[in-house]
Amino acid sequence: MVKVASIDLGSNSTRLLIADITKGTLTTICKEHQVTRMADKLSESKIISKEATKRVLKALAGYFKTINRNNIENIQIVGTAALRDATNSQEITKKIEKRFGYEVEIVSGEEEGILTSIGVLNSLGSLDNFLIVDIGGRSTEFIYDFDKKIISKSLNIGVVSLSELFFNELPPLKETVLLAKEYIESNLFESNIFNERVLVGVAGTFTSLASIFLEQTQFNDKEIHLTELKNEDVYAINEELLQLNEPQIITSYKGLDPKRARTIQAGILLAKEIISKYNVNSIKVSNSDILEGLILKKY
């Protein structure tokens, strides 16, 4: 038995997984996330700001206290879209490496998708004709099986970038929502290969969506895992959310991380447009993702 950790430096959140791994079987000890908004204003400035860097470093400091209490044998840290896109990403990763003593690997969108698929498929067992969708802060990964191979494609749309473009005012104007929909539709892949697959949603947008659907009063990831929603459930939640401002979202959905209130409308609109585009009848929500995939790939 080996006790290991993985950290995901995402565009919207910084996340930690500590797990035992024995002969390819992963048992979660601790899984945490903090909304750190690394990609805040990145589209405009092209850099990760000092404020965003401070939030990430603060989250990591807390995580490493937890790691040090758990006698961890191996730690892997990955960066995704924000660190892929920022002109000062090398400066940020060097700062993290100097402070905490571990290298940060910046993975491509395709690599991110493959690692996510390893984590998801391990928790779901045998699954054919699937489409895994990972909505992040600045990118969305589409992972699917084709001709007995797993293929990953990355799209440069995420909840932070969409929010900055179209959701500065909450609730958004109907005209703004229409513009957001047109923008999403024009950027989605034109491919019949995604149609009518089993859609598996991972990461914060989908787990938040499941939490709202389950009417949780406190976020419970174990209850969320493998929750199934029909497309009409997603449409209804999307319409409901679009009527609310940020304080109303926070008070209406107790299971939702309050820091996600600013971006959840963009995320769920994106999810809704994806299932509509590809004729998906229902989605399953997976709590396993790139964090599990990193560990399982190594062990």
| Contacts of 9 by beta carbon, 8 Å cutoff, 6+ apart | 38, 56, 77, 78, 79, 80, 82, 83, 96, 104
Torsion (CA) 100, 33, 115, 159 in degrees, nearest 10: -120
User: How many helical (H) and strand (E) elements, i.e. helices and strands, does the chain have?
Assistant: 13, 11
pLDDT in the model for residue 64:
95
Q: In which element (H, E) is residue 185 found?
A: helix 174-187
pLDDT in the model for residue 145:
85
Pick 125-286's CATH classification: 3.30.1330.60, 2.60.40.10, 3.40.50.150, 3.30.420.150.
Answer: 3.30.420.150
What the block records as the tokens of 97 is 């490496």
Per CATH, 2-109 and 125-286 having the same topology is answered yes
What percent of the chain is modeled with pLDDT above 90?
A: 65
**What is the residue extent of each domain of the chain?**
2-109, 125-286
103, 127 contact by CB (below 8 A): no
| Per-chain mean pLDDT for the chain | 91
pLDDT in the model for residue 214:
95
144, 151 contact by CB (below 8 A): yes
**How far apart are alpha carbons 13 and 40 in whole angstroms?**
11
- 30-60: pLDDT as tens digits: 999 999 999 888 888 999 999 999 999 999 9
- Any idea which residue has 């199934």 for tokens? 228
Instruction: State how beta strands 130-135 and 25-35 pair.
Output: unpaired
Q: In which element (H, E) is residue 236 found?
A: helix 231-241
- Residue type for position 127: L
pLDDT in the model for residue 29:
93
Domain 2-109 has what CATH class? alpha beta
pLDDT < 50 stretches in the chain: none
pLDDT in the model for residue 49:
94
- Terminal alpha carbon distance of the chain: 11
pLDDT in the model for residue 191:
75
**CA 207 to chain CA mean position, Å:** 9
Q: Indicate the pTM of the whole model.
A: 0.87
On the 0-12 / 13-18 / 19+ scale of CB atoms within 10 A, 179 is middle
Exposure string of 115-154, with b = 16+ CB inside 10 Å and e = fewer, is bbbbbbbbbbeeeeebbbbbbbbbbbbbbbbeeeeeebeb
